[in-house]
Structure 1
Amino acid sequence: MAIDHTTVVVPEDKFRECLSFYVKALEPLGYRVVYEFGDNVVGLGSESDALENYKVADFWLFGAKEAAKVHVAFRAENRSLVDAFHAAAILSGGQDNGAPGVRAHYHANYYGAYVHDAAGNNIEVVCHKP
């Protein structure tokens, strides 16, 4: 089994800022907006995950009056994608929470990077390959 989708809830007043951040930061991983419902619900996904009759959004962003902080980790196929995510995330307004690098305390090949979005959520991209 695998996780089908994840939702990050952010304050309504930071929704557009967070959306802009995620669109730019996740672009190196192939993500783009595939669904929009109303003003405060957006689903992002990649073309490679599309099914025969519909697009798959596996990362959702909701705007709400109250939001709790979360940690989300995206898996990358190689370390250069981790680096590209971190650079794009910082350029799009994310706050560095851990530059790309090996995190050997998890395992020898754990290569990750961390950023906070405008709402303070901790977003990570990790590659488990050497």
Structure 2
Amino acid sequence: MFDHVVFSVSHYEEAKAFFLKVLAPLGVEVVSEGPLGIELCRPDSPSSLCIRRTEQKTHHLHLAFTAHSRQQVHDFYVAALQAGGQDNGAPGWRPQYSGKYYAAFVIGPDGHNIEAAYHEPGE
């Protein structure tokens, strides 16, 4: 649905290192980096995530990334905690959303709620 999503961080280098480590298990890579910041995406996807530098305090966002398996959700969660993220919901089923929704949540740099979500295929 989206071509790209752009958000700003006040601790750019910390956020960059965090997102590179956390999104690697989901197949996300650097597309480009320049004076404004960094652009990340999956090689097979036209959608991208752009992280920009700012001096201002940022508003908290909820960013949910698609995982292709429950294992990717788990790997994302472990990588996020190792990268300094704070637990905001360990990997598990989320029946309040759907009986087939498996996700993990962490709080990353600048207080953003970062999620990896896997939608179990239908019966």
TM-score using structure 2 length: 0.91
Please say which of residues 67-76 and 16-25 is displaced more in the overlay: 67-76
**Aligned equivalent of 2:109, options 105, 113, 118:** 118
**Aligned equivalent of 1:42, options 38, 50, 69:** 38
Maintained 8 Å contact 2:29/2:42 = yes
The residue type equivalent to 2:16 in the other structure is: L
The Cα offsets for residues 69-112 of structure 1, whole Å up to 9 and x where unpaired, read as 11110111111110010011111111111100001011101100
2:59 is the alignment partner of 1:68: yes
2:12 is the alignment partner of 1:15: yes
Quote the Cα distance in structure 2 between the aligned partners of 1:101 and 1:107.
12
Quote the Cα distance in structure 1 between the aligned partners of 2:47 and 2:24.
14
Runs of 4+ in structure 1 deviating by more than 2 angstroms, as ranges, are: none
**Aligned equivalent of 1:33, options 30, 55, 62:** 30
Which residue number corresponds to residue 77 of structure 1? 68
The residue type equivalent to 1:10 in the other structure is: V
Quote the Cα distance in structure 1 between the aligned partners of 2:116 and 2:41.
15
Q: Residue 27 of structure 1: SS of its match in structure 2?
A: helix
What is the percent sequence identity of the aligned residues? Answer: 37
- What RMSD over aligned residues (CA atoms) do the two structures have, in Å? 1.3
The residue type equivalent to 1:3 in the other structure is: F
TM-score using structure 1 length: 0.87
The residue type equivalent to 2:7 in the other structure is: V
1:41: Cα distance to partner? Answer: 0.8
The residue type equivalent to 2:41 in the other structure is: G
Unaligned 5+ residue runs, structure 1? 50-55
Quote the Cα distance in structure 1 between the aligned partners of 2:76 and 2:17.
14
